Amino acid sequence: MKIWLNGKLVSREGAVVSVFDHGLLYGDGVFEGIRSYDGRVFKLDEHLERLENSAKAIMLDMPLKRDDMRKAVLDTLRANGLRNAYIRLVVTRGEGDLGLDPRKCKSGGTVIIITDKITLYPPEHYANGLEVVTVATRRNIPEAVSPKIKSLNYLNNILAKIEANNAGVLEAIMMSADGWVAECTGDNIFIVHKGALTTPPTHVGALEGITRNTVMQLAGKAGIPCAEALFTRYDIYSADECFLTGTAAEIIPVSKVDGRPIGNGNPGPLTLKLVESFHALTRSEGVPI
């Protein structure tokens, strides 16, 4: 396995960063998760744009410009001979000293690109749906660290994931501080009511998921109404269908929430239609490796 680290392709053992890196010491950095299908990187520029926007929001100068970043991703995939891959980009503030002041980081940032085989939810959940729970851990308020920033501060999500683990399920639905459904620990959420899709607006405290945006576009093309609107747990319990979206998860049907079957407890027709058109899209576009 070759890992891209600050301009060099190194072995897994050689891919080490300083203990004074502020990404490690303070979670001061940003990241992306991208996927390639059949030798093409899906939505590469959308992911690079989100990475740049996350970096801009925390006033982190991107060590690489867009074209160099794109090339580095493709080079790493080629070096690893990967066609179907999960790609993790990490950009940290770089090496500094103790003390959180970002001005201490003079190395110009740390850039890491890891490409690996994709790990998914077990296949039976795509066929039968995933059971999830809502959890007590609230999403960070946008006025503190905005959940729109894909930062290295994932402790909020990890706390919710621990609650999911404790409940014996694989994913958790998180609410905003005032009780609106926001998103999951690593996925966005959609519900279906009488043939129309709803997903929470990002201002409620959700990442602007690239899969989420793709699903909204696919719905538009298929003439399926889709709105960004606030909703509560009750609206999930009473939905006809529910599904989650994410780069790793793609579109995964939800069968049960907090013990309540969603619809008849099986993946619904609209979810399955979107899964099909999403699969077709991932196999028909992307930046060639």
Residues that are catalytic = 150
- Residue 207 or residue 289: which is nearer to ligand PMP going by CB? 207
Among 246, 253, 263, 267, the residue binding ligand PMP under the rule CB under 6 A is: 246
Q: Which residues contact 105 (CB under 8 A, 6 or more apart)?
A: 22, 28, 93, 94, 95, 96
Q: In terms of CB distance, is 110 or 188 closer to ligand PMP?
A: 188
Distance of CA 31 to the CA centre of its chain: 10
Nearest approach, Cβ of 186 to ligand PMP (angstroms)? 4
Instruction: Please tell me whether residue 197 binds ligand PMP under the rule CB under 6 A.
Output: no
> CB within 8 A of 205, min separation 6: which ones?
139, 140, 141, 142, 146, 147, 174, 176, 177, 182, 183
Options 212, 231, 267, 274; binder of ligand PMP; rule CB under 6 A: 212
- Per CB under 6 A, 54 contacts ligand PMP: no
Query: Which string of b and e fits 60-87 if b means at least 16 CB within 10 Å?
Result: bebbbeeeebbebbbebbeebebeebbb
Q: Does 62 bind ligand PMP (CB under 6 A)?
A: no
Name the β-bridge partners of 40. 37, 288
Verify binding: residue 183, ligand PMP, rule CB under 6 A.
yes
Instruction: Say whether residue 171 binds ligand PMP (CB under 6 A).
Output: no
Q: How many CA atoms lie within 13 A of 139 on its CB side?
A: 31
Residue of the chain from 181, 210, 219, 262 that contacts ligand PMP (CB under 6 A): 210
Contact 46, 33 (CB under 8 A): no
- In whole angstroms, the minimum distance from the beta carbon of 10 to ligand PMP comes to 25
Interaction of residue 211 with ligand PMP, rule CB under 6 A: yes
Positions in the binding site for ligand PMP (CB under 6 A)? 33, 157, 183, 186-188, 207, 209-212, 245-247
